[in-house]
Copies of this chain bind each other. A is one copy, B any other.
C-alpha cells in the first residue's frame, strides 16, 4: 500500500481536509447543519472509494452514515466503526491555527478532528479503496460512522438495534485510540466506561453583596468546593458509597502482564510539565488510567469571573463531573450512586441538583481472538516490533453497547499518540501515523 499512498497523497490530503473543514461539533445546536454536511461528504467518499451503497441515516439526534460493499456472502465481514463529530474547540485563543482550517506543520496535520476521529476513520476508507482498486478485497466491509460519540452516542444504540441484520459482521474494527508511543505499537484490549454528570449548588435565591452577607450566609461556591473535595479521600479513593462494589481487582499475574508495556515516568511528567503524578494509592500510573476508575471535575463555574474584582456572594455554583469506570461497573448504577451520595452530603443551607449527561460501560477484548492476532501481525509488519496489549483510559461507551446488541467483539487498532492532544487546542495527527495506519489496516485484511 506504500506505493499507492505515495501516488495518491495529494488527493488524500484534499479529501481528509474537506472533512476537517466542516465544524461538526456535536454538542452545540448551532452546528446541526454541519453535521449533515459532514455525513453527506462521508457518503461521497465511501462511494468514490468503492462502496456499493452509502447513505445518511436519520436518527433522533445527528445522523448515522452507513455504507457497505458485499463481495461474497461466504466471506468474513468487517464492520468499521468511526465517528465524524468532534469536541468543542474552546479555548480558541490557544490554537496556533484555525481549528477548522487544517494545516500541515512539522510532519503533522493540525485541526480539530485531525486524529479524533476524522483522521483515523479516513485511514479505513483509504485502506478499503486500495483493496478494491487493486482487486484484493476478500472480505465484505460495512461502515458505520456516527455523529454523537463525543456526546455519549445517545442515538446509535437504538439505531443499531433496529438495523441489527444490516450490521451483521464478524468483527467491529475501530481506530479511535492511541498507541503507547511512536515506536511502541499497542492494541487496546480494554477501555474504561464513563458516567458524566452536572451539579448545581444553590444558596440564597439571588446574588448578594459579600460585605453585607459574607460570614453569615453559606456561599455556594465554598460549599461546592467542600463537597467536591470530599469526593476523593487522602488515598485517592472515591468516597461515593458503593462506588467500588463491582470493581474487579486484577490478579498479580494480570498486573504483571500489563506492566510489561514500556513506560517512562520522567518522560511522562516532562511531557505534561508536572513535578509529581497523583492518583490512587497502591497503583502505578499506567494502572491508574488503565484498570482503575477515577473522578475528575471537567468544568466549574460560579460568581464573577470577568476582569477585575466584584464583591459578590453568588446564588449558584456549578460543576461538570465525570467518572471513568472499569469493566463490570455499570454506568447507570454509578450515576445513580453518585446522585444519591452527592445529595446526601449536601448541607442544609444549600439546595443541590444533579443532572446526568451521558455514560457507558467499559469492556475487555480477548487477546487470543483471531482478529486480535491478525491485527498484531499487521502492526508487527508495519512497525517492525510486536504490539503490546494495553488498557485504554478513555471511553468509547457505544462499543460496549454495540458488542451487546450485535453480539460482535470490537477490535481497537488505534494510531493516535499522546502528542496529538485530542480534545485540546492544537489537536494534530502525525502524517507518519496516518500512513502507517492505512498500511496496517490493509494488512489486517490480509491476515484476518
Contacts and interface: CB of A to CB of B under 8 A. Distances in A.
Nearest to A29: B307
Interface in A216-235: 216-219, 221-222, 224-226, 228-230, 232
A296 interface: yes
A180 to B, nearest CB: 11
Given A348-B275, A349-B276, A294 B392 contact: no
A350 B424 CA distance: 19
A204 to B, nearest CB: 4
B214 A393 contact: yes
A225 B299 CA distance: 12
B27 A394 contact: no
A198 B308 CA distance: 9
A133 interface: no
Contacts of A358: 309
Given A276-B349, A312-B423, 17 more contacts: A88-B306, A207-B424, A209-B422, A210-B324, A210-B423, A212-B392, A212-B393, A212-B394, A214-B289, A216-B279, A222-B297, A225-B225, A300-B317, A308-B357, A309-B357, A311-B394, A311-B395
Interface of A: 27-29, 87-88, 90, 150-152, 178, 192, 194, 196, 198, 203-219, 221-222, 224-226, 228-230, 232, 272-280, 285-286, 288-289, 292-314, 317-320, 322, 324, 347-350, 357-358, 392-395, 418, 421-425
A311 B194 contact: yes
Copies in the complex: 2
Residue among A152, A311, A424 with max Cβ neighbours from chain B (10 Å)? A311
Given A194-B311, A274-B217, A424 B212 contact: no
A178 to B, nearest CB: 7
A229 B218 contact: no
B280 A215 contact: yes
A206 B348 CA distance: 38
Given A215-B280, A229-B225, A289-B213, A208 B298 contact: no
